[in-house]
């Protein structure tokens, strides 16, 4: 029965999460696999979601929610040079590191909305890109918790790659020039507005 297997899955996730807490790692990265995403809510039809759940189309979700959430991580990374010289953007106080950690955890949680029926694409590449973004966002959060600049910066770079892998496969018109170039592709025109707006 579907319910039983859902309860079993939830129990497993709880166990995984508790184990993760015990040894200081974040549970989630370990089970953020392609398989877990493919089975997540697979039997829930889109018309059984609460009203308004899917009011934002994917283009808006991306532009307003995912880009915003990604920026909340990337803004704490790297160096800028201005009239005052070169400055690090990495968090400097406990509060700032905590904001960076929260940004990672927020993005990790957000990945679930890409799996809602009516929004997800039933293709293993979709599930994998979602799982990758989640795992990397959790890595960023962990690095921020540990105040590890190097690991936090590396997660930021990997995050861009994970976002872009989905764009390359499903929305090449939204992929960045460097992604298209690396894949030997050129940017196609965006789909007609009435399909994505
Ligand atoms: C599972 C797939 C997937 C993942 C993961 C994903 N995106 Fe997207 N993204 C899309 C698709 C599909 C579109 C094209 C939407 C459209 O044009 O209708 C898109 C479009 C965009 C756009 C362009 C929006 C516009 O106004 O045209 C931005 C910006 C964006 N994504 C940012 C991100 C960021 C940042 C991440 C990672 C933190 C990310 N995306 C992860 C699928 C994904």
State the total domains in the chain. Answer: 1
pLDDT > 80? residue 124 = yes
Q: Which residues line ligand 1 (CB under 6 A)?
A: 58-59, 62-63, 66-67, 70, 114, 126, 129-130, 133, 159, 163, 166-167, 170-171, 174, 196
Confidence of residue 42 (pLDDT cuts 50, 70, 90): low
Report which protein residue has its CA nearest ligand 1's atom 2.
166
pLDDT > 80? residue 31 = no
pLDDT digits (tens, 9 = 90+) for 141-150: 999 999 999 9
Mean pLDDT of 29-34: 41
Whole-number pLDDT of residue 73: 98
Confidence of residue 134 (pLDDT cuts 50, 70, 90): very high
Taking the centre of ligand 1 as the mean of its atom positions, its distance from the CA of residue 90, in whole angstroms, is 25
Structural domain containing residue 64:
32-49+57-196
Whole-number pLDDT of residue 40: 55
Unique residue bearing structure tokens 């990265």: 29
Whole-number pLDDT of residue 188: 84
Confidence of residue 39 (pLDDT cuts 50, 70, 90): low
- Cα angle 98, 104, 107; round to 5: 135
In a domain, 83, yes or no: yes
CATH code of the domain in which 84 resides? 1.20.120
In a domain, 19, yes or no: no
Confidence of residue 10 (pLDDT cuts 50, 70, 90): very low
pLDDT > 60? residue 6 = no
Closest CA to 90 of 38, 165, 151, 46: 151
Whole-number pLDDT of residue 45: 81
CA distance 154 to 164: 16
Report which protein residue has its CA nearest ligand 1's atom 15.
59
- Cβ contact 13:40 at 8 Å: no
Confidence of residue 41 (pLDDT cuts 50, 70, 90): low
In a domain, 12, yes or no: no
In a domain, 129, yes or no: yes
In a domain, 62, yes or no: yes
In a domain, 26, yes or no: no
Report which protein residue has its CA nearest ligand 1's atom 16.
59
pLDDT > 50? residue 175 = yes
The mean pLDDT value of the chain amounts to 81
pLDDT digits (tens, 9 = 90+) for 44-99: 788 888 888 889 999 999 999 999 999 999 999 999 999 989 999 999 999 999 99
In a domain, 139, yes or no: yes
Long-range own/partner contacts, residues 21-29 (CB < 8 A, 24 or more apart): 25/142, 26/138, 26/141, 26/142, 28/108, 28/134, 28/135, 28/138, 29/134, 29/135, 29/138, 29/139, 29/142
pLDDT > 80? residue 23 = no
Return the percentage of the chain with pLDDT > 70, whole number.
76
């Amino acid at each position: 029965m579907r319910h039983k297997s859902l309860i079993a899955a939830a129990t497993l996730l709880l166990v995984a999460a508790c184990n993760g807490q015990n040894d200081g790692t974040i549970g989630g990265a370990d089970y953020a696999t392609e398989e877990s995403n493919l089975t997540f809510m697979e039997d829930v039809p889109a018309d059984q979601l609460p009203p308004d759940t899917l009011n934002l189309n994917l283009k808006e979700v991306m532009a307003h929610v995912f880009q915003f959430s990604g920026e909340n991580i990337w803004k704490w990374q790297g160096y800028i040079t201005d009239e005052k010289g070169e400055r690090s953007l990495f968090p400097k106080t406990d509060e700032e590191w905590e904001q960076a950690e929260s940004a990672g955890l927020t993005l990790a949680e957000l990945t679930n909305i890409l799996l809602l029926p009516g929004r997800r694409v039933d293709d293993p590449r979709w599930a994998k890109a979602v799982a990758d973004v989640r795992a990397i966002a959790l890595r960023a959060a962990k690095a921020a918790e540990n105040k590890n600049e190097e690991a936090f910066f590396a997660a930021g770079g990997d995050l861009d790659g994970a976002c872009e892998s989905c764009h390359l496969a499903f929305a090449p018109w939204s992929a960045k020039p460097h992604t298209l170039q690396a894949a030997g592709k050129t940017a196609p025109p965006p789909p007609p507005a009435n399909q994505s707006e």
